[in-house]
Amino acid sequence: MINTNLNGNPFLFIKEPKALGPGSFEMAKYLVESTNIKEGMRILEVGGGSGQIATTLAKFWNVSVVTLEPWSDGCDIHLYAKQQNVENQVMALKTMAQSMPFTSCTFDAVISIGSFEMIANDRPVALTEMIRVAKSGARIGIAEPMCLPGPIPADIPDSETKRSFQECFATLNWNCELFSDHGLKIVDNYYFDEAYQWWQQYRINVSEEEQQFITQDNGRWISLGLVVGEKQ
Ligand SMILES: C[S@@+](CC[C@H](N)C(=O)[O-])C[C@H]1O[C@@H](n2cnc3c(N)ncnc32)[C@H](O)[C@@H]1O
């Protein structure tokens, strides 16, 4: 039976939340709504992390979720799903988005939170796969760290963090063009107004170097954005 308690944002009521990126749980509900996720659907998530997003989605929207998690064996994701009584609706796979073991037209929606940007130069390959495994008419969406237009502030000293952010973060426009070039019809795209606030809240979870970057940037370049496209 569907759990209709969706008035709030169920992602923000997760006990002992383990978000692996800034604004992950804040952005999740916007992405779920924009990708038209409805009861009974089969969803693909790219970048499972702790599994809390997949489990919350399964539990509150009554969908099944396959979540790709190449960095771990998936045991913690399955354990969390079991604790939340949706064990049979969540499956983690140690698989990368660039090459997926699914037949074409398998999923009703594809989402990725704070993960697509990490695929860096392989994003076109991954997006091709995400589109291939989506059904016709399905929506494919990302919500993640994006940069604002313009160069990274020159007064921020060079560091590993600066180099990796520069390699991974793209502008909203860049992501929209990538989606359009792959034949998707863009249905939603925006930067989140609260982006820097969510970066600041996330700051306590990261290395000192990354903390310094977030402070020095002061919202001039780092942001968070959402892009959703529809497979024609
Ligand atoms: C910063 S974490 C975000 C996890 C989670 N979505 C969250 O917001 O808490 C990035 C995730 O991307 C996943 N990832 C990295 N490269 C990937 C790839 N090529 N294909 C699929 N997932 C990938 C990692 O396994 C990791 O879980």
Cβ contact 203:195 at 8 Å: no
**pLDDT for residue 8:** 80
Supply the residue whose CA is at minimum distance from atom 24 of ligand 1. Answer: 47
**Residue 214 is assigned to a structural domain of this protein:** no
**pLDDT for residue 7:** 59
CA–CA dist 147, 173 (Å, integer): 10
| Binding site membership of 120 for ligand 1 (Cβ less than 6 Å) | no
- Nearest CA-CA partner of 95 in 75, 116, 68: 68
- Nearest CA-CA partner of 99 in 125, 72, 70: 125
**CATH number of the domain encompassing residue 65:** 3.40.50.150
Domain range enclosing 81: 4-144+171-203+223-231
| Binding site membership of 48 for ligand 1 (Cβ less than 6 Å) | yes
| Binding site membership of 71 for ligand 1 (Cβ less than 6 Å) | yes
Which of 118, 161, 165, 199 has the most ligand 1 atoms within 8 A of CB, as the residue to mutate? 118
**Residue 155 is assigned to a structural domain of this protein:** no
Q: In what order do the strands lie in the sheet with 134-147?
A: 90-93, 64-68, 42-46, 107-113, 134-147, 222-230, 185-191
**pLDDT for residue 4:** 39
Output the six-digit token pair for 168. Answer: 């991974």
Supply the residue whose CA is at minimum distance from atom 5 of ligand 1. Answer: 49
**Residue 211 is assigned to a structural domain of this protein:** no
Walk along the chain (232 residues) and give the pLDDT tens digit of each residue: 334 344 589 999 999 999 999 999 999 999 999 999 999 999 999 999 999 999 999 999 999 999 999 999 999 999 999 999 999 999 999 999 999 999 999 999 999 999 999 999 999 999 999 999 999 999 999 999 999 999 999 999 999 999 999 999 999 999 999 999 999 999 999 999 999 999 999 999 999 999 999 999 999 999 999 999 999 9
**Residue 185 is assigned to a structural domain of this protein:** yes
**pLDDT for residue 230:** 98
| Binding site membership of 46 for ligand 1 (Cβ less than 6 Å) | yes
Cβ contact 123:112 at 8 Å: no
Mean of per-residue pLDDT scores for the chain = 96
| pLDDT digits 0-9 by tens, 68-119 | 999 999 999 999 999 999 999 999 999 999 999 999 999 999 999 999 999 9
**Residue 156 is assigned to a structural domain of this protein:** no
**Residue 163 is assigned to a structural domain of this protein:** no
Using DSSP, state whether 73 is helix, strand or coil. coil
Cβ atoms within 10 Å, residue 211: 16
Supply the residue whose CA is at minimum distance from atom 22 of ligand 1. Answer: 47
Output the six-digit token pair for 75. Answer: 């045991």
DSSP 114-166: S-GGGGGGGHHHHHHHHHHTEEEEEEEEEEEEEEPSSPPPTTSPP-HHHHHHH
With tokens 């809240």, the residue in question is: 201
**Residue 114 is assigned to a structural domain of this protein:** yes
**Residue 164 is assigned to a structural domain of this protein:** no
Domain count, the chain: 1
How many residues belong to the chain?
Answer: 232
| Binding site membership of 49 for ligand 1 (Cβ less than 6 Å) | yes
